[in-house]
Amino acid sequence: MASHAGNPQSASNSLLRSSISFFHIVFMVTAAAAPLVVVSAYIPISLAGGAGMSVALTYAATTFILLIFTVGFAQMAKRITSAGAFYTFATQGLGRPVGLAVGFTVMAAYSMISPAIAGGFGFYTTKLLSAYFGLDIAWYWCSIASLALMFMISFYRITYGASILSFLLAVEVLVILIVCLATVGSGGASGQMPEAFSLSQWSTAPAVGIGFFLAFWSWIGFETTAIYGEETMDPKRAVPRATYIAVLTLGLFYTFAAYAGIVGFGAEAPGKAGTLIDQYYFELADIHTIHTVRVIMDFLVITSFFACSFAFHNNATRYLFSLGRDGILPKSLGSTHSEQKSPYIAAAVQATIAIVTVALFALAGADPLLHLGTWLPIFCTLAVIVVQFIVSLAVIGYFNRIGRSGPLDWWKTILAPILGAIAQAVVVWLLLENITFLAGSEIMVVKLIPLYVAIIALAGFGYALWLRNSDRSRYDMIGQLHDEEMMDAFVDEMYVADGRSPN
């Protein structure tokens, strides 16, 4: 048996095992997707200047593509349980340097998504407080207060945060469904429009590439299922099932909501979306339901932004925790609370990073939506899609090493990951082609976003190579498994891959 490098897992660096149910995972990954934010912002933007009348078809096609990616992802999740998720998957499949490059990249992405979404929270909260309560509070104070609250909640057991997200999500989805069902049920402006699902609609779309990018953007964070594997009951079954269900249910939900948006205004939908933008579905609520529903939606936009930002706060926290536990970042980050078993130090660091980010944008006089809420998500989305491309390749590499047992395994671990990688590469290309349009700016800081992602990834890769030459024991900890059933096999395999004896 190999002698493991580093400290053994103990009560001080272990998460609360079997504390999260299958349904909690589904709720948390769906909350990260922020359905009301997608419906109220991304779908109207796509209708106006992206996929146009093919927006529902585009969301349906994106669902199919992500389900193919999920095939390989689920096979890894059945065998690997780690709070590091993509970081550990990439290490397992492509080696430690690539794994650390992925770990740094996805950690930076999720760390920045939380303050970016908190900017939207601050913007809409300021508007709501002014409209309904006559209070004049700057957006950045609302954003900072929300981030501080996220830390307070995440200090306690993960089940507390999961319960909050579950409740907010249930109300959010229910209200959106009421609006969409009422719109479709009434026949909208000119009756049902099955032609919205005709492939010919893509040929008339204003910018179908932007439509696909916005659709993929709507799913960012569905890796949440694997991040919580160590805290989940029966993770080998729960995580793959939760991933499939989250991707499929979100896909059906988005596709139906997009179709309802088309039916609502009929042939005039793209023009109306260009005029109304973030008020598009609120207008449908006023037309097809009672005004109370519109008022509820005004408040739910706030909770949707909060739930989304909080979900990514938890994601980033667990990457900081995982890299700290492995000794790659300061080990204190890998500590858990003695009673709550929460990664409270990593949560505090993530909250601090987010608050400082919001403060810097505020001091620069940036707009919370146009700058903080757009530029950072573009960086984050590009980083995550690049990581998903690498993870698709990692699935192939991992199963090349451990072997395959039959024809079905070839589909799950070679063909599906190849198709997934191709799809992610196409989306990266679409993003790079349209990056200044999506950011609404031609300034250099936006044009250099791809360079920022490359620098972070290269920093992780280079750091791993430096550790390999200067601190072999820490290098051996990169992507370490903390699932005791697999620990020995992993260490032995990785030693052999490095050309060394495991003993």
Angle at 500 between CA 497 and CA 501, to 5 degrees: 115
Higher pLDDT, 220 or 320: 320
18 pLDDT band (50/70/90 cuts)? low
State the pLDDT at residue 162. Answer: 63
- The string of pLDDT tens digits covering residues 348-358 is 999 999 999 99
Contacts of 214 (CB under 8 A, 6+ apart): 42, 43, 45, 46, 50, 51
486 pLDDT band (50/70/90 cuts)? very low
Question: Which amino acid appears at position 317 of this protein?
Answer: T
Range with lowest mean pLDDT among 24-38, 157-171, 299-313, 362-376: 157-171
Higher pLDDT, 321 or 487: 321
Helix, strand, coil % (nearest 5) of the chain? 80, 0, 20
Contacts of 267 (CB under 8 A, 6+ apart): 189, 190
For the segment 174-196, the average pLDDT, to the nearest whole number, is: 93
> Above 80 in pLDDT, residue 497?
no
> Above 60 in pLDDT, residue 324?
yes
Q: What percent of the chain has pLDDT over 90?
A: 44
496 pLDDT band (50/70/90 cuts)? very low
For the segment 332-347, the average pLDDT, to the nearest whole number, is: 82
For the segment 383-399, the average pLDDT, to the nearest whole number, is: 93
For the segment 412-425, the average pLDDT, to the nearest whole number, is: 90
- The string of pLDDT tens digits covering residues 279-294 is 899 999 999 999 899 8
State the pLDDT at residue 17. Answer: 59
Range with lowest mean pLDDT among 27-41, 124-138, 170-184, 265-279: 27-41
State the pLDDT at residue 93. Answer: 93
Which of 20-34, 65-79, 172-186 is the most confident on average?
172-186
Tell me the DSSP string of 268-290: GHHHHHHHHGGGHHHHHHHHHS-
Angle at 65 between CA 61 and CA 69, to 5 degrees: 165
94 pLDDT band (50/70/90 cuts)? very high
Distance between CA atoms of residues 358 and 372, nearest Å: 8
| CB 411, CB 148: distance < 8 Å | no
Rounded to whole angstroms, the maximal C-alpha distance in the chain is: 73
Distance between CA atoms of residues 395 and 69, nearest Å: 10
Tell me the DSSP string of 464-483: HHHHHHH-HHHHTTTT----
State the pLDDT at residue 83. Answer: 64
> Above 60 in pLDDT, residue 199?
yes
Angle at 289 between CA 283 and CA 295, to 5 degrees: 65
Q: Which of 301, 310, 397 is nearest to 99 (CA)?
A: 397
Q: Dihedral, CA atoms, 236, 241, 246, 252, nearest 10 degrees?
A: 160
DSSP state of 369: I
Domains of the chain: residue spans and CATH:
22-497 (1.20.1740.10)
For the segment 410-427, the average pLDDT, to the nearest whole number, is: 89
Question: Which amino acid appears at position 264 of this protein?
Answer: G
Distance between CA atoms of residues 382 and 225, nearest Å: 20
For the segment 167-185, the average pLDDT, to the nearest whole number, is: 90
Distance between CA atoms of residues 432 and 426, nearest Å: 10
For the segment 122-130, the average pLDDT, to the nearest whole number, is: 92
SS3 350: helix
451 CB neighbour count, 10 Å cutoff: 9
In angstroms and rounded to an integer, the radius of gyration of the C-alpha atoms of the chain is 22
Higher pLDDT, 197 or 78: 197
> Above 80 in pLDDT, residue 25?
no
State the pLDDT at residue 402. Answer: 85
Which of 273-277, 300-304, 349-353, 378-382 is the most confident on average?
349-353
Model confidence, pTM: 0.82
Query: Which residues make beta-bridge pairs with 20?
Result: 232
Question: Which amino acid appears at position 58 of this protein?
Answer: T
Distance between CA atoms of residues 315 and 308, nearest Å: 11
13 pLDDT band (50/70/90 cuts)? low
Question: Which amino acid appears at position 175 of this protein?
Answer: V
- The string of pLDDT tens digits covering residues 230-269 is 666 677 788 888 888 889 999 999 999 999 999 999 999 9
CA distances from 390 to 87, 308, 316, 356 (A): 10, 25, 19, 30
16 pLDDT band (50/70/90 cuts)? low
Average pLDDT, the chain: 84
State the pLDDT at residue 417. Answer: 93
